[in-house]
Amino acid sequence: MLGTGIIKGMVETARNFVGSYTDKERLTTVEYPEERIPAKENARQFPFLVFDGEDPQAGLRCVACQICEKECPPQCILIVKDTTKKPDYMGKMQFQPKVFDIDISVCMSCQICVEVCPFEAIKMDTEFELSRGDRFGGLLVNKTGLAKSNAHYRRIHPAEAAEVDSRLAAEKAKAEAKAKAAAAAAAPAPATADVSKK
Amino acid sequence: MMDWIREFLGMLWKTVSDQPDPKAAFLPLIPEEWRSETSVLLSIAPLMMIFPALFALTTVVERKGLGRIQNRLGPNRVGPAGFLQFAADGLKTLTKEDIVPRAADQLVHFLAPLALVVPVFLTFSVLPFGRHLVPLDLESGLLFFFAIGAATELSVFMAGWASRNKYSLLGALRAVAQMVSYEIPLILSALTVVMATGTLSLPQIVDAQAAGNGEWLARWHVFTPWGFFGFALFLVAACAEANRAPFDLPEGESEIIAGYYLEYSGFKFALFFLGEYLGLFAACGLGITLFLGGWHAPLPILERWIPSYAWFFAKLAALIGLFIWVRGTLPRVRMDQLMNLAWKFMLPLALVNLLAVALWHFLPNPLARWAASSILLAGAYVGLGRALMPPSRIGKRVYRYAPQDSR
pLDDT digits (tens, 9 = 90+) for B126-141: 889 888 888 888 888 8
Q: What is the pLDDT of residue B261?
A: 83
Q: Tell me the nearest-neighbour CA distance from A24 into chain B, angstroms.
A: 10
Q: Tell me the nearest-neighbour CA distance from A134 into chain B, angstroms.
A: 24
CA distances from B36 to A116, A128, A196, B30, B368 (A): 87, 66, 118, 9, 52
Residues of A in contact with B381 (CB under 8 A): 2
Spell out which chain A residues touch chain B, with contact meaning CB-CB distance below 8 angstroms: 1-3, 6, 9-10, 12-14, 16-17, 19-21, 26-29, 31
> Which positions ≥6 away from B404 have C-beta within 8 Å?
none
CA distances from A64 to A78, A133, B392 (A): 10, 33, 69
Q: Tell me the nearest-neighbour CA distance from B388 into chain A, angstroms.
A: 7
Confidence of residue A189 (pLDDT cuts 50, 70, 90): low
Q: How far apart are CA A110 and CA B288, in angstroms?
A: 61
Q: How far apart are CA B15 and CA B133, in angstroms?
A: 8
CB B252 within 8 Å of CB B171: yes
Helix axes A158-186, A190-197, angle to 10 degrees: 130
Q: What is the pLDDT of residues B211-258, one digit of tens each?
A: 777 777 778 888 888 889 899 999 999 999 888 888 888 777 777 787
Q: What is the pLDDT of residues A7-25, one digit of tens each?
A: 999 999 999 898 888 888 8
Q: How far apart are CA B286 and CA B316, in angstroms?
A: 10
Q: What average pLDDT does range B281-287 have in this prediction? A: 92
Q: What average pLDDT does range A148-158 have in this prediction? A: 89
Confidence of residue A188 (pLDDT cuts 50, 70, 90): low
Q: Which domains does chain A have, with CATH numbers?
A: 47-127+135-176 (3.30.70.3270)
Q: What is the pLDDT of residues B168-213, one digit of tens each?
A: 888 899 888 998 899 999 999 999 999 888 888 888 888 888 877 7
User: What sign does the dihedral B153-B155-B158-B159 (CA atoms) show?
Assistant: negative
Mean pLDDT, chain A, as a whole number?
85
> Which positions ≥6 away from B226 have C-beta within 8 Å?
B192, B196, B353, B356, B357, B360, B373, B377
Residues of B in contact with A14 (CB under 8 A): 325
Interface touch A13/B329, C-beta < 8 Å: yes
Q: What is the pLDDT of residue A191?
A: 52
User: What sign does the dihedral B158-B161-B163-B167 (CA atoms) show?
Assistant: positive
Q: What average pLDDT does range A144-154 have in this prediction? A: 89
Is pLDDT above 50 for A198? Answer: no
Window from A2-16, A131-145, B21-35, B344-358 with minimum mean pLDDT: B21-35
What is the ipTM for the molecules in this complex? Answer: 0.74
Residues of B in contact with A33 (CB under 8 A): none
Q: What average pLDDT does range B70-98 have in this prediction? A: 87
Mean pLDDT, chain B, as a whole number?
86
Residue of A nearest to B232 (CA): A3
> Which positions ≥6 away from B139 have C-beta within 8 Å?
B200, B201
Window from A97-101, B7-11, B350-354 with minimum mean pLDDT: B7-11
Q: What is the dihedral of CA B374, B378, B380, B386, to 10 degrees?
A: -170
Is pLDDT above 70 for B407? Answer: no
> Which positions ≥6 away from B169 have C-beta within 8 Å?
B160, B161, B163
CA-wise closest residue to B376 among B387, B360, B361, B362: B360
CA distances from B290 to B128, B133, B227, B228, B285 (A): 11, 16, 9, 11, 9
Q: What is the pLDDT of residue B187?
A: 92
Is pLDDT above 60 for A43? Answer: yes
Interface touch B68/A9, C-beta < 8 Å: no
As a whole number of Å, the CA-based R_g of chain A is 26
Is pLDDT above 90 for B370? Answer: no
Q: What is the pLDDT of residue B347?
A: 92
Window from B176-180, B317-321, B365-369 with minimum mean pLDDT: B365-369
Interface touch A10/B345, C-beta < 8 Å: no
Question: Which stretches does DSSP call E strand in chain A?
Answer: 46-51, 77-87, 93-103, 122-125, 140-141, 147-149
Q: How far apart are CA B254 and CA B262, in angstroms?
A: 13
- Residue B191: half-sphere exposure toward Cβ, Cα within 13 Å: 15
Backbone angles phi, psi at A96, to 5 degrees: -135, 155
Q: What is the pLDDT of residue B237?
A: 92
Per-residue buried b or exposed e for B301-312, using 16+ beta carbons within 10 Å of the residue's own CB: eebeeebbbebb
Interface touch B329/A16, C-beta < 8 Å: no
Q: Say which residue, B302 or B233, is predicted with more confidence.
A: B233
Q: What is the pLDDT of residue A197?
A: 44
Interface touch B329/A21, C-beta < 8 Å: no
Q: What is the pLDDT of residue A195?
A: 46
Is pLDDT above 80 for B159? Answer: yes
CB A166: neighbour CB atoms within 10 A?
10
Choose among A2, A16, A31: nearest Cβ to B385: A2
Q: How far apart are CA B230 and CA B9, in angstroms?
A: 42
Q: What is the pLDDT of residue A48?
A: 92
Spell out which chain B residues touch chain A, with contact meaning CB-CB distance below 8 angstroms: 65, 68-73, 325-326, 328-330, 345, 381-382, 384-386, 388-389
Q: What is the pLDDT of residue A1?
A: 57
pTM of the model: 0.78
DSSP secondary structure string for all residues of A175-196 = HHHHHHHHHHHHSS-HHHHHHH
Q: Tell me the nearest-neighbour CA distance from B48 into chain A, angstroms.
A: 32
